[in-house]
Amino acid sequence: MTYLTTPAKDLFSPLMELEKLLNRAATRQSVPKVNIIQNEDWTELRIALPGLNKKDINIQLEDNVLKISSSKEEKELKKDSAILLKEFDYSNFQLEYKLTDNVDTDKIEAKYKNGILTIKLPFKKEEEIVKSKKIDLK
């Protein structure tokens, strides 16, 4: 699972790359390429998913974890055909990103166009972030 945090320099680390490699090896799934763009107002994920339809992509938010996945049946090959090399297959994958408390989960937007899934994660305004909360004793 990748943690999306602020500032942007915390997003990229050798551990993220190692995690991708381990996930890929463990699951034997292709891991889509992801670009992460950030400014002071939002973080945006751009995920390359060529060959998929909108209906093939599942996006869920559960316990502040953004889960992006696809599970699509592969087409059967003709009896006289064989795959000689298969370097990509985005029909079955799962990506997970742990969101920080400063992401406004009610305003997350996603769109899919020309094989690119774009997910915008807007940040809460400073005054909306609950840093501490008093708990009344009953």
Give the residue extent of every domain in the chain. 2-73+81-126
CATH 1.10.340.30 fits 2-73+81-126, yes or no: no
Q: Which 8-state DSSP code applies to residue 129?
A: S
CA dihedral 20, 44, 8, 65 (to 10 degrees): -60
Please list the pLDDT of the chain residue by residue as tens digits (138 residues): 445 544 444 445 556 666 666 665 555 567 889 999 999 899 999 999 988 899 999 999 999 899 999 887 767 777 888 877 777 676 788 899 999 888 999 999 999 999 999 999 999 887 666 666 778 888
Global pTM exceeds 0.85: no
- pLDDT value of position 22: 65
Torsion of CA 83, 77, 50, 45, to 10 degrees: -80
